[in-house]
Every structure is written in structure tokens, then in C-alpha cells.
């Protein structure tokens, strides 16, 4: 009987010592799977055709399958599209994927037009939130809550996130967009909603992308725990360095002078 041949030894995997550390599970779970997004995911959107807003529109029947038989005009471009391929906005409008892409691109363009106005309006909202945390008389609280709501609508409108005066909730349709566009839209929405005092920009010189608050985590260090931020654009990490921006940033995320800065970290 011939001797058995030795099993081949598995080669050890090469580890790049300079590669950035992956984010912890708590951060990774908060980041959408952008690499899986794309046009292939767009479609099969379910709509309640018994709703009055659908009955007020003109339908064209074709084919035999109820799930694919309805054609309806896009509210924006009026192109007739399969109902399952239309995206329902909270205001009642229905838009096709082409118009969804335009809306997503427009968000960053609108922010680029008036970053200082959006930033200052958001700062006023923060001041109101601080006042609301204190004990105040009911009528004053009601006035502040109403003012905060008005400012919030203003911020969303200035950032191109509204349709008919209502938040479009575009995050629901991230999977329908390309990986890069869905990522950029997600970052822009996070920039609008995140607490300003906790906002940071990637410290790597060739990046500088926005770092959402949900991408922040802590790592044990020599003097306790150090705060770090994971970047969804360059996959690098940044950490606190007790330094502030000396000049205003002229590109997204448009941080003002004095905003806390970071330093690159593996």
C-alpha cells in the first residue's frame, strides 16, 4: 500500500502593516453597504394602489401581471414608468430613477451654494436645543419648539432635501443609487443632521472627507481611551490631536475656522 501524500501546507496570509485598521462592529453596522448599491437594486417598490392619491392619477394598464401592469407618469419629468420603478416621496410625488439621481446630485450642489447659511442656521437650532434643555415656562417652550421646527425645515430646504416643502427622506433610496452617489448623499445628509460640535473631517491629506458622528469610536491608549473616526471614503482612521482649524474650509464639509481638527491614524 503506497504511503499517503502529505497534505499541502497553507501559506500564511500576508498582512500589510501599513493598512488601516477596520472599524469596530458598532461603526460598521451604522454604515450602509455602499458597494452593494446600484441600478440593479432599483425596482420592485411596493405602493398602496388603494390610496386616494393613486386614484387621482391616470393609470395605463398593459400586460397580465398585476405587479408589473401599472404605468404612471413621473411627477417631475412626466415619463411613463412601471409603477414598481417609481419612488414615493412623503409629499405624495412619485419620481423615476433618473429624477432620483438628479435629486441626489442636487443635494451636494445646493449645500455648496450656501454652506455658511446652512451652518449658521443649524447653529441657531443648537442654541435653541440648549435652551430647551433648561427649565422654562410652557409658553416660552412652545415658542422655541415652533422656532426650532421652522429652522429645521429651512435647513432641509437650503440643502435641497425637500420636495413640496416636505423632507424627501432620500436615505430610503440609497440602494437604488450608484455606490459613489449613495455614499456622497449619505455623507451630505449626515452633515446636515449631525451635532455640529462633534463633526470632523478626515485628517489624511489626500482625503478630507466628512466623518459622520456615527463613525466615531474609542480605542484604549496610554492615557485611557482615545477617540477615533473611520472614513468611508478612504477607509483611513483619524484621531483627536487637541488642534483646531486655523482657516475656514472652502470645500465640503465647509467647516469654519476653530472647528476641532484631527490627525491621521492607522
- Over the stretch 117-166, which tens digit does the pLDDT of each residue have? 999 999 999 999 999 998 789 999 999 999 999 999 999 999 999 999 99
Name the residue with cell 435647513: 155
Helices 115-132 + 97-113 axis angle, to 10: 80
Using one digit for the tens of pLDDT, what is the confidence trace for 48-69?
667 665 655 545 444 444 444 5
Task: Look at residue 10 in the predicted model and tell me its pLDDT.
Answer: 39
Task: Look at residue 118 in the predicted model and tell me its pLDDT.
Answer: 98
Distances (CA, A) of 149 to 100, 142, 193, 249: 26, 11, 13, 28
d(CA 100, CA 86): 9
Q: What is the pTM of this model?
A: 0.85
How many residues are there in the chain?
A: 266
Task: Kindly indicate the confidence band of residue 260, based on its pLDDT and cuts at 50, 70 and 90.
Answer: very high
Contact between 262 and 240 (Cβ < 8 Å): yes
d(CA 234, CA 141): 43
Planar angle of CA 146, 109, 234, nearest 5 degrees: 105
- Pairwise pLDDT comparison (7 vs 178), residue with the higher score: 178
Distances (CA, A) of 113 to 71, 106, 116, 189: 36, 11, 9, 16
Distances (CA, A) of 131 to 99, 120, 125, 148, 150: 40, 17, 10, 11, 16
CA dihedral 165, 171, 173, 178 (to 10 degrees): 120
- Pairwise pLDDT comparison (253 vs 242), residue with the higher score: 253
HSE value, Cβ hemisphere, 13 Å, CA-based, for 27 = 21
The whole-number average pLDDT for the span 98-114 is 97
d(CA 216, CA 210): 12
Amino acid at each position: 500500500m503506497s504511503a499517503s501524500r502529505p497534505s499541502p501546507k497553507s501559506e500564511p496570509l500576508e498582512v500589510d502593516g501599513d493598512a488601516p485598521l477596520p472599524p469596530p462592529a458598532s461603526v460598521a453596522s451604522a454604515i450602509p453597504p455602499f458597494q452593494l448599491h446600484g441600478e440593479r437594486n432599483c425596482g420592485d417598490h411596493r405602493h398602496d394602489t388603494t390610496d386616494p392619491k393613486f386614484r387621482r392619477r391616470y393609470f395605463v394598464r398593459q400586460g397580465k401581471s398585476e405587479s408589473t401592469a401599472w404605468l404612471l407618469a413621473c411627477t417631475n419629468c412626466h415619463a411613463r414608468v412601471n409603477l414598481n420603478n417609481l419612488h414615493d416621496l412623503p409629499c405624495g410625488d412619485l419620481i423615476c430613477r433618473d429624477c432620483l439621481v438628479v435629486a441626489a446630485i442636487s443635494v451636494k450642489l445646493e449645500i455648496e451654494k450656501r454652506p455658511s447659511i446652512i451652518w449658521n442656521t443649524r447653529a441657531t437650532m443648537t442654541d435653541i436645543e440648549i435652551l430647551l434643555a433648561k427649565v422654562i415656562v410652557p409658553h416660552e417652550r412652545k415658542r422655541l419648539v415652533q422656532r426650532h421646527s421652522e429652522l429645521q425645515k429651512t435647513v432641509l430646504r437650503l440643502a435641497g432635501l425637500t420636495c413640496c416643502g416636505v423632507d424627501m427622506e432620500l436615505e430610503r433610496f440609497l440602494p437604488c443609487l450608484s455606490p459613489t452617489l449613495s455614499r456622497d448623499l449619505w455623507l451630505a445628509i449626515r452633515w446636515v443632521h449631525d451635532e455640529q460640535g462633534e463633526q470632523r473631517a478626515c485628517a489624511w491629506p489626500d482625503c478630507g472627507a466628512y466623518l459622520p458622528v456615527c463613525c466615531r469610536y474609542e480605542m484604549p491608549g496610554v492615557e485611557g481611551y482615545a477617540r477615533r473616526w473611520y472614513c468611508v471614503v478612504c477607509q483611513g482612521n483619524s484621531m483627536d490631536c487637541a488642534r483646531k482649524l486655523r482657516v475656514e474650509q472652502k470645500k465640503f464639509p465647509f467647516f469654519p475656522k476653530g472647528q476641532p481638527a484631527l490627525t491621521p491614524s492607522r
